[in-house]
Chains A and B, each alone.
Chain A
């Protein structure tokens, strides 16, 4: 609890989290305005998907920076040094710090999306189930990239390195991963499809979108081609669960193992 309170105090005094929130609000309003002109009865689902597509650029970047800078600040202000001298292991510190960062960013950002549900109800035919799916998807997006940010903050030793690492990871997930996959796409056949599927769904941005599309009925899983049936060999929710476990757990464990190599405390 102390960590959460401390995190809230630090984040709320800084400008970063407020600027991030303003960006999310502006983006949401802009997408909302555009979506109101959509002709279809399914405008609500289209709005959710459009909002997700725009957030894919922004939320990973914001959460990476907020979470990683929260750790580097502990290093720069030497507070990490004091915390670790008190019979606290780095694992225990990282666990409490993760909970605090996740809690603060999650409650602030998702608080906005909770408020956004009110105008959604006025502009569209509101489907609570689909909205909850969207809520879960954004929550997982925030959790995964927060945790990657905490990992980056743990392994680097200064701000310059951290900025570079954050931008690289963001670029990797948003562009590089797909770019490489696209060049390999002509070599994908039914025989090696399972491997391709594993690689494709390892990217949480793909899995989250696919889960959102399938759960809101935008992408039907019936009548799929043979290739697509091979591709979707697990239910989308299971792919999502695997992603959460892999990314959150692996980055946490790696951060506890590698923090000494990069971080000088």
Chain B
């Protein structure tokens, strides 16, 4: 009898418990009753999830702060199974955080092609938007806010792109998640205009080729964009700033081939770029300024071309690590890079190219190779003395040899100092004359 009761109890549990719990009647029914291609307008209220959309409909909320789809915390909140679904103007929250399941849960899981997800606010969910073998989708103006604390595995990614190609990920705002956007075996995607902060890696590519990354902002992460085992990626006009920490970087290229890094800004990062085991990257016209290390280049990387980049006020513009001579090029077609005022270059013929090659030497490479904690000292005034001592003791190694260093002849002089001194001088004279009058 006991066994029978236990069996019935177990069957009841199995019957009622499922990771794919659907919404309590009404909204799921309304979705199911909406005709193919039809629009379902949602009121400014909170609906209970979870929802599964199995036909091409337009689900339109009253606004991301008014219409809320709240999951039950044991599955995906909204699952899109059919192609051609359009989801907009709502807030989605409370997906499962269960990591013992075979499935990784998300606020919005897309399993089909050609869907549009836009103007959506996501909170309290493991992954924000999950594209699983989903192609040609648009994810636009979605805000994902993660929990931002706890162990790294307990946090999901803002947008997860898994075996998904040709998607457009535009103008999203992601913060406090594990990674901002994670690409795994996904090719030909376009990522543009996104703002990603306070994550581990703002963008993380693994085994993903021909992806294009333009006009995004990555700030206050451990790493701006970590591009690994990927080919033919293009990074254009992005801003990587304030990625600080002992392991921080703006962009990391690891085991990547044929990457184009063009016209980006690297500002106030631990390392502007970190390049390791990568081949044939073309790094052109980037602004690399106020970083601790401009570029950290491991000699396992071959045939990189650096041209037209502007290095300004980095503690060290380039550090080459790994010993031996690397086969990387600091100029192309008689055009090198700008090295800033810290490296005086003579240009007697006024053609904008230095008359002699620029050679930059440093001792920091040996320290960095041995201990990551050296990054705690890179802002220290002592680092310049350490470098000078290394020079006198002949311990420096060549980091960069630019045969055609560029000069910026149009650079404007800053007159702020002069104005400040004049203003203070006038103030001082006025005060003195006033004091004299009194006495």
Q: Which of A65-73, A220-228, A235-243, A246-254 contacts B (4 or more CB under 8 A)?
A: A220-228
Q: Do A225 and B372 have beta carbons less than 8 Å apart? A: yes
Report if B371 contacts A (CB, 8 A): yes
Contact of A41 among B149, B219, B385, B421 (CB under 8 A): B219
The distance in angstroms between the C-alpha atoms of A55 and B148, with both chains bound, is 33
Q: Do B382 and A220 have beta carbons less than 8 Å apart? A: no
Give the chain B neighbours of A219 by CB distance below 8 A.
244-245
Q: Do A33 and B376 have beta carbons less than 8 Å apart? A: no
Q: Which of B68-76, B319-327, B399-407, B412-420 contacts A (4 or more CB under 8 A)?
A: B412-420
The distance in angstroms between the C-alpha atoms of A41 and B374, with both chains bound, is 28
- Contact status of A213 and B239, CB under 8 A, knowing A30-B420, A175-B382, A225-B372: no
The distance in angstroms between the C-alpha atoms of A186 and B219, with both chains bound, is 31
A-B contact pairs, 27 of them (CB 8 A): A25-B420, A26-B421, A30-B417, A33-B414, A33-B420, A38-B290, A40-B241, A40-B267, A42-B219, A42-B220, A42-B241, A46-B268, A46-B290, A56-B381, A177-B382, A185-B367, A186-B371, A188-B373, A213-B244, A217-B198, A218-B242, A220-B220, A220-B221, A220-B222, A223-B152, A225-B246, A225-B372
Report if A97 contacts B (CB, 8 A): no
Q: Do A46 and B371 have beta carbons less than 8 Å apart? A: no
The distance in angstroms between the C-alpha atoms of A199 and B428, with both chains bound, is 44
Report if B247 contacts A (CB, 8 A): yes
> Residues on A close to B: CB < 8 A?
22, 25-26, 29-30, 33-34, 38-42, 45-46, 53, 56-57, 174-179, 181-182, 185-186, 188, 196, 200, 206, 209, 213, 217-220, 222-225, 227-228, 231
Give the chain B neighbours of A26 by CB distance below 8 A.
417, 420-421, 424
- Contact status of A182 and B245, CB under 8 A, knowing A30-B417, A39-B265: no
Min CB distance B250 to A, Å, is 12
Q: Do B377 and A178 have beta carbons less than 8 Å apart? A: yes
Min CB distance A57 to B, Å, is 7
The distance in angstroms between the C-alpha atoms of A57 and B384, with both chains bound, is 14
Give the chain B neighbours of A213 by CB distance below 8 A.
244
- Contact status of A220 and B245, CB under 8 A, knowing A39-B267, A186-B370: yes
Report if B200 contacts A (CB, 8 A): yes
The distance in angstroms between the C-alpha atoms of A222 and B197, with both chains bound, is 13
Give the chain A neighbours of B343 by CB distance below 8 A.
none
Give the chain A neighbours of B246 by CB distance below 8 A.
224-225, 227-228
Report if B380 contacts A (CB, 8 A): yes
6 tightest Cβ-Cβ pairs between the two chains A and B = A178-B382, A33-B416, A186-B370, A29-B420, A178-B380, A40-B241
Report if B430 contacts A (CB, 8 A): no
Give the chain A neighbours of B376 by CB distance below 8 A.
200, 206, 231
The distance in angstroms between the C-alpha atoms of A192 and B217, with both chains bound, is 39
Min CB distance B291 to A, Å, is 12
The distance in angstroms between the C-alpha atoms of A22 and B431, with both chains bound, is 13
Contact of B373 among A40, A177, A231 (CB under 8 A): A231
Name the residue on A nearest B150 (C-beta). Answer: A222
Contact of B367 among A46, A186, A196 (CB under 8 A): A186
The distance in angstroms between the C-alpha atoms of A196 and B376, with both chains bound, is 12
- Contact status of A209 and B367, CB under 8 A, knowing A40-B219, A222-B148, A223-B152: no
The distance in angstroms between the C-alpha atoms of A22 and B244, with both chains bound, is 33
Give the chain B neighbours of A34 by CB distance below 8 A.
414, 416
**CB under 8 Å from chain A, chain B span 342-375:** 367, 370-374
Q: A22-B424, A218-B220 are in contact. List 18 more A-B contacts (CB 8 A).
A: A25-B424, A26-B420, A26-B421, A29-B420, A33-B416, A178-B382, A178-B383, A179-B385, A179-B386, A179-B389, A182-B367, A182-B382, A185-B370, A185-B377, A219-B245, A222-B149, A224-B246, A228-B246
The distance in angstroms between the C-alpha atoms of A179 and B377, with both chains bound, is 9
